[in-house]
A and B are shown apart, each in its own frame.
Chain A
Amino acid sequence: MRLATLILALGLCSCGTPTATTPSPVSNSPQSTVALTAKTVADSAQAGVKTVIALRDQGKLSQANTITIENWLGFVATTDKQISTILAKNETWAMQKTEILSLLGTVTAPTLATTIDSGAQVVIAQIMTLVNQIKVQVTA
């Protein structure tokens, strides 16, 4: 499956209009690394919302805690969207780094009882791990 995917990607790459000049090789940029992690955050936040809804529907999570976590995931999604906007801007990486770090400083785990369902705790822990991963990527 992975090989097929790579073959597909290579095939698609070869379909573009040929360029007049051969681009000079450069290493993978820090922006693309952060952009990939931001996409993972977006996917994880969406999966997290679906998880807490399922837990609530199964009677494993109270409505109050569901709303608290949903609101937090909404905040994460909004912040993630802002990070993507910053990455797409025509600014230097130094400027983008500062803006992203400032945004990430506002993201902290929600205050909830430690007795909430383990599935909900995993959702929060996974998101916080990804947020911290972006912090490391931005400060590296």
Chain B
Amino acid sequence: MPWLTLLLQLEPAIPGLIADFKALFAKHPALADPVAQTAFITALAQASASTDDATLALIKADQAAHPQ
């Protein structure tokens, strides 16, 4: 489901896109089939992990630049 990955990549540029997509699931139940949901969760988990990694890198860089 590459379009799911694309939606998640667009989300930072279009704040609220994920919430809109969730609403889309609610309005169009056919999209919320188990396969689509599994792909959605997997893509979302990857996006979260990527953001978390970036956060950890940001902390590491800041603490290296500003030691206590």
Contact = CB atoms under 8 A, between A and B. Distances in A.
Nearest to B3: A12
Interface in A113-133: none
Contact of B32 (A27, A53, A71, A84): A27
Interface centre among A29, A45, A84, A85 (most CB of B within 10 A): A84
Interface size class of chain B, counting residues whose CB lies under 8 Å from the partner chain: 35 or more
A65 to B, nearest CB: 10
A100 interface: no
Residue among B19, B33, B48, B66 with max Cβ neighbours from chain A (10 Å)? B48
A106 interface: no
A137 interface: no
Given A77-B52, A81-B53, A88-B45, A28 B7 contact: no
B47 A56 contact: no
B22 A73 contact: no
Nearest to A52: B62
A22 interface: yes
B34 A23 contact: yes
Contacts of A50: 58
Contacts of A67: 63, 68
A35 B45 contact: yes
Interface of A: 1-2, 5-6, 8-10, 12-13, 15-16, 22-29, 31-33, 35-36, 38-39, 41-43, 45-46, 49-50, 53, 56, 63-64, 66-67, 70-71, 73-74, 77-78, 80-81, 83-85, 87-88
